[in-house]
Amino acid sequence: MPELEESDAAPVAELTDLERQVVDFFVDGVRVLGMPGSVGEIYGLLFISREPLSLDDLVRRLGISKGSASQGLRTLRGLGAVKEAEMPGVRRVHYEAAVDLKRLAGGFIREQVRPHLDSGQLKVGRLFEAVAAEDDREAREFYDERVAKLEGWMKRARMMLPLMQKVLGQ
Amino acid sequence: MPELEESDAAPVAELTDLERQVVDFFVDGVRVLGMPGSVGEIYGLLFISREPLSLDDLVRRLGISKGSASQGLRTLRGLGAVKEAEMPGVRRVHYEAAVDLKRLAGGFIREQVRPHLDSGQLKVGRLFEAVAAEDDREAREFYDERVAKLEGWMKRARMMLPLMQKVLGQ
DNA sequence: GAGATAGTTCAATCAAAAATGAACATCTCG
DNA sequence: CGAGATGTTCATTTTTGATTGAACTATCTC
């Protein structure tokens, strides 16, 4: 007794159990890193696919919109998390997951971490200026100590980056 | 020529320029770490305050609801990012910012990072099971290699934690 | 122990972020 | 060319998650 067929959709292979689990794994992963779930879906499916997939493959298999897929691929390209596969004679471009952790981490740091650290740096500079404008000496000393602490925190955060690269790389 | 006074609100000291900047700094900071902005507001104001503040102080100075303040303080307590100040003869409990980076990082790792790593660990285990159910030998080998890679990534992520503690601590 | 004071909870509201999909390029090759 | 195929953009819709605020609990004070 077949259920009502989905009206007029092209027949699309459901994700296998394994694919579903991997996709979900990466959805969670990228969410933790502050990125939209669709990016994780796309990367996850590419990661567990034995052959490169086109944008249209992703749309059909994941059931997401063309817009999401396009935007998600743009993000992944920016991170260096996908590579275009050479497919002679095939027009449509196909992607595969980049699986070099060092490169992935590098991309993430460059695109998502560095900008925040840099703008934080700037803001600390402005904080010191704001502190200098304080008239009361005792207050100014307290504020100065706190902002200096903040500056130290930012410095340590920057120290983490190469260290991360080291642990993750190779 | 004074502007129209705010109707009937209790007179509340506006945040100073410095306070505003520090609060904004921490709002951005906690957002990057995936926490609600109000948590950053509260921690930021405590961080730059020369004396401990009560929940009600936070509500009035930041212009947030009692609910947000209560919930935000709960989160910060969970992280070990605030301390209750001893104030003999004062009923209402007052808080001050904990400013030991090692402790802050430890709290963040314990509350926000560890749970994700643990659940990821579990999921990788289930992935290996799903791979084992694959019939085609070639496919199974490919999947197995990929999931093993994932397992390796998780291991490296776990290696990062003590390292972070080390760089940030002391 | 009655009334005030302090703080928490949680259903309802609101706002920020993500996803959609139609319109718009840009190709490709017959 | 020009007709299909491919991919991007972006205004709108949807979803998610944060915030509010009223009701409630617990605790002090006299």
Residue nearest to nucleotide D10 (CA to C1'): A67
Question: What are the start-end ranges of the E strands in chain B?
Answer: 53-54, 82-85, 94-97
User: Does some domain include residue A153?
Assistant: yes
Answer yes or no: is B92 CB < 7 A from strand D. Answer: no
> CB contact, 8 Å: A120 with chain B?
yes
> Are residues B66 and B137 both part of a single domain?
no
| Domain boundary pick from A76, A97, A118 | A97
Q: Residue B54 and residue B94: Cα distance in Å, rounded? A: 4
Statement: residue A28 has pLDDT above 90? yes
CA A2 / C1′ C4 distance in Å: 67
* Tally of domains in chain A: 2
Note whether B76 and B107 are within 8 A (CB): no
**A170 pLDDT band (50/70/90 cuts)?**
low
Answer yes or no: is A64 CB < 7 A from strand D. Answer: no
> Are residues B112 and B139 both part of a single domain?
yes
Sheet arrangement for strand B94-97: B53-54, B94-97, B82-85
> Are residues B88 and B133 both part of a single domain?
no
> CB contact, 8 Å: B161 with chain A?
no
> Are residues B45 and B65 both part of a single domain?
yes
> CB contact, 8 Å: A29 with chain B?
yes
pLDDT digits (tens, 9 = 90+) for A30-44: 999 999 999 999 999
> CB contact, 8 Å: B163 with chain A?
yes
Give residue A61's pLDDT.
97
User: Does some domain include residue A5?
Assistant: no
User: Does some domain include residue B3?
Assistant: no
> Are residues A124 and A161 both part of a single domain?
yes
User: Does some domain include residue B27?
Assistant: yes
For residue B6, which phi and psi values (nearest 5 degrees)? -60, 130
Residue nearest to nucleotide C6 (CA to C1'): B92
Range of the domain at A111: 101-168
Residues lying close to strand D (Cβ under 7 A), chosen from 99-138 of chain A, are none
Note whether A43 and A30 are within 8 A (CB): yes
Q: For residue A32, give the nearest of B101, B116, B142 by CB distance.
A: B116
Residue B26: CATH number of its domain? 1.10.10.10
User: Does some domain include residue B160?
Assistant: yes
pLDDT digits (tens, 9 = 90+) for B20-74: 999 999 999 999 999 999 999 999 999 999 999 999 999 999 999 999 999 999 9
| Domain boundary pick from A41, A72, A97 | A97
Specify the pairing of strand A82-85 against strand B53-54. unpaired
CA distances from B27 to A13, A22, A120, B83, B117 (A): 44, 33, 11, 19, 25
Q: For residue B48, give the nearest of A126, A146, A160 by CB distance.
A: A146
User: Does some domain include residue B26?
Assistant: yes
Q: Which of A146, A149, A158, A160 would you mutate first to test chain B, the one with the most B CBs within 10 A?
A: A146
> CB contact, 8 Å: A155 with chain B?
no
User: Does some domain include residue A105?
Assistant: yes
> Are residues B112 and B63 both part of a single domain?
no
Distance separating the N- and C-terminal Cα atoms of chain A: 54
Give residue B89's pLDDT.
85
> Are residues A25 and A82 both part of a single domain?
yes
The reported pTM is 0.91
Cα dihedral sign, B70-B72-B73-B79: positive
Question: Torsion over CA of A31, B21, B98 and A119, rounded to 10 degrees?
Answer: 50
| Domain boundary pick from B35, B63, B97 | B97
